Structure 1
């Protein structure tokens, strides 16, 4: 009788940008015969279930494509504001390890296969020890750039060198270089910088300071990146193993649980557009614009005269945007511009009509742009997005960045000018294609990510 497939528990940090790559990884594990239990905190679990049911993808009840979806509480009370990052992080940090321990014990008491491995987001490092105490082996998954994780390992050195204090607050202006050919750290945009109050930044700094536990507590830390994209980072931090870029579209066509309903009609709209003509604009799941910045972006897109596909989430702009103005704008650009609330981004970026990607430079968006060879106009918002901008503009040279005026606003003229430069620069286009080919060859048989992934699977099979 064949041995039961090893049982793996997958634990993402509860946010869209973390759920997506860990769902992509889970599909790969199921393909190779693993039993996968995907564990999310309550609200995220609900969004994920709704997303998968909405698209009619797979299975019944709490199972999709062979992945069992299981919730644990996030530690917050019913009426608590989950947008209060300090409270949310504090609750997850203090309470989720205990809930995870209960879940592992209950799973085994129920007669299900013993959980052999916890494959967990490095952002959940505070859960690693609990698993180990129960005899469950731990693998870390870093869903962003290796440089960003490596930078967090350098926090003690940054303190020692007097660049930041013990709370992560810059002590001097300028930049800090971990190594040449790695994105520098800007005092004005620290990796833990948020568009919020100082106590939230402090909470994120403490979370990031703990990333150093991953190489100590986890037997392996795999990363959603590839060797040619971050050669220096992987040389400098050999404990981080590239297995990316992960994806679930194209040949796999597996659901990754997008929290917002996707408007697939934009794919037909793209079909009717000329090759390399469309500007695709999307700022991920968290970025917000004030009404003035929103208006400048809108009018900048209009000024280019190019067809554009723009993702505008319902919560993308803070109150104050005139509905009359926006209705008039939409009627002016009808036929040339399409506005959707969310879209199947991986398929959009793979579409031949897309010429350029205006992006917040989140890592998932960055790698999706990279592996489709799409030049990027960078418009970072917070956290690691500034480091990703450095990769795109300064190291890979596959895009440009917008520049804000003295008042912090990116004008419509700047939007038009930079878009024309990015799309018209043959060198940028050529470098984007070279990086695309490197990304694709890394994941086919014999490629570096392919071979690393094979070793990862062998380890999980032990």
Structure 2
């Protein structure tokens, strides 16, 4: 009998990485694997504070469905700024890489026998240093990609884009005004809107280094997508393996949210007829300028529709979002919450559409819910995700900005009404929902790929 694979899963400690890697861990457990999930002490503290019951975060090793959660310090104090991703990454790497071998030794010792030792380390982007540690210790390594497969393919192709004279080797910005196609079957991309393009030179330098590490030490780049969603991507590298969409089992006690979810919004949704509510949420990182926030509020005011609007708390004590509802905002048709159980919201029959920043996790959850999108991307991979939503899958629309770069209240009202009157988009949304559900069902392509990966670890 072959030993049970034991995975050490290490996300970059932001919600957009922690959530999909926790979902991935759930799927591994369901396939009979052991999982140790490494959170930073700071992230775990936030998750426990946000949870309605700290029991959700107990290790409870006797429960066959449990995921063993362990922590390491990230090298910063609670008051330090974790929004500076370059400094944050440097602190993580220097602090955690030094402590990781001892943690692996302790986990192996606590498991009690040779066959239960950690057999594979799986990391998200920005945590490639852990794969280097793993190789030194003789442990297999893989990457679990929180962004789309297209975003990961663009990272994989950085050196090619530099060699072909498409982007500048120092800044990552396009050398000339031209469209880009990473492979013949992929949609055309704007090189000025690649995943790193508006995040600065230091971030690009970091991505170049990180990509080389992931290529060198990550045998597989596991993608939270279905093959049909991004079919052209997978010819770029055999490392890219679609295993999604990974959606959590709500019965398992593995909450990782950094904010307390307001469950009352589900009762509120129950009081509304099917396909009547406009859901608005911009994820865990996006920050909206005050004048744009005002236009959004007054645009929702103009709608002849109920709306559920997530206005997220600040990410840090130092960076207050300063969201103040404008004079004239009534909000009598809507409900505002600070954080929502999004997957449940998007699967609720009363939700008519999703006004979204187009982060990949939200995109996947909207696809699974069969909900049409109104796309409002802010940065990084969100522009590529919008292109898939609007131009490839044809399940959404974008907003047009005015001469000052603002999406006006009238534009918001107009696009909501136009989207909700578009039956073709609605039908496409239901069609793509069926496709992704088939992929994760028993015998589906994504399900079989996950088994392929687990069998590789067993070898």
User: Please, what TM-score do these two structures have when normalized by structure 1?
Assistant: 0.90
Distance in 1 of aligned mates of 2:265 and 2:78: 37
Deviation at 1:143, TM superposition (A): 1.8
Check if 1:426 corresponds to 2:430. Answer: no
2:59 and 2:69 in contact (8 A); partners too: no
Distance in 2 of aligned mates of 1:208 and 1:254: 37
Question: CA distance change for structure 1 residues 364 and 267 in 2, over 3 Å: closer, same or farther?
Answer: same
Aligned to 2:432: 435
Count of aligned pairs between the two proteins: 451
Aligned to 1:302: 301
Counterparts of 1:306-455 in structure 2, within 5 Å, are 306-315=305-314, 321-322=323-324, 325=326, 329=329, 332-334=330-332, 336-455=333-452
Distance in 1 of aligned mates of 2:302 and 2:262: 25
Deviations 1:315-359 (A, max 9, x none): 399666556x36x52xx222x101000010000000111110000
Deviation at 1:175, TM superposition (A): 3.2
Deviations 1:96-132 (A, max 9, x none): 3222223113333556442111122243122211101
Aligned to 2:37: 38
Aligned to 1:272: 271
Question: CA distance change for structure 1 residues 190 and 310 in 2, over 3 Å: closer, same or farther?
Answer: same
1:360 and 1:378 in contact (8 A); partners too: yes
Counterparts of 1:33-432 in structure 2, within 5 Å, are 33-52=32-51, 54=53, 56-57=55-56, 59=58, 65-76=65-76, 80-109=80-109, 112=112, 113-167=116-170, 168-194=172-198, 198=200, 201-249=201-249, 255-315=254-314, 321-322=323-324, 325=326, 329=329, 332-334=330-332, 336-432=333-429
Distance in 1 of aligned mates of 2:300 and 2:62: 42
Deviation at 1:75, TM superposition (A): 2.8
2:194 and 2:384 in contact (8 A); partners too: no
Deviation at 1:409, TM superposition (A): 0.9
Aligned to 2:10: 11
Distance in 2 of aligned mates of 1:360 and 1:89: 24
DSSP 3-state at the match of 1:8:
strand
Question: CA distance change for structure 1 residues 92 and 128 in 2, over 3 Å: closer, same or farther?
Answer: same
Q: Comparing 282-291 with 2-11, which one deviates more in the overlay?
A: 2-11
C-alpha RMSD over aligned residues: 2.5
Gaps of 5+ in 1: none
Aligned to 1:25: 24
Distance in 1 of aligned mates of 2:5 and 2:71: 21
Distance in 2 of aligned mates of 1:182 and 1:256: 35
DSSP 3-state at the match of 2:397:
strand
Question: CA distance change for structure 1 residues 122 and 84 in 2, over 3 Å: closer, same or farther?
Answer: closer
Deviation at 1:282, TM superposition (A): 0.4
DSSP 3-state at the match of 1:164:
coil
1:248 and 1:256 in contact (8 A); partners too: no
Deviations 1:425-458 (A, max 9, x none): 1111111111111000011122100111121222
Gaps of 5+ in 2: none
Question: CA distance change for structure 1 residues 62 and 6 in 2, over 3 Å: closer, same or farther?
Answer: closer
1:48 and 1:259 in contact (8 A); partners too: yes
1:378 and 1:399 in contact (8 A); partners too: yes
Deviations 1:220-279 (A, max 9, x none): 2211100110111123333211110001146x5553411110001111111111111111
Question: CA distance change for structure 1 residues 9 and 120 in 2, over 3 Å: closer, same or farther?
Answer: same
Deviation at 1:78, TM superposition (A): 5.7
User: Please, what TM-score do these two structures have when normalized by structure 2?
Assistant: 0.91
Distance in 2 of aligned mates of 1:379 and 1:291: 16
DSSP 3-state at the match of 2:369:
coil
1:226 and 1:439 in contact (8 A); partners too: yes
Question: CA distance change for structure 1 residues 215 and 86 in 2, over 3 Å: closer, same or farther?
Answer: closer
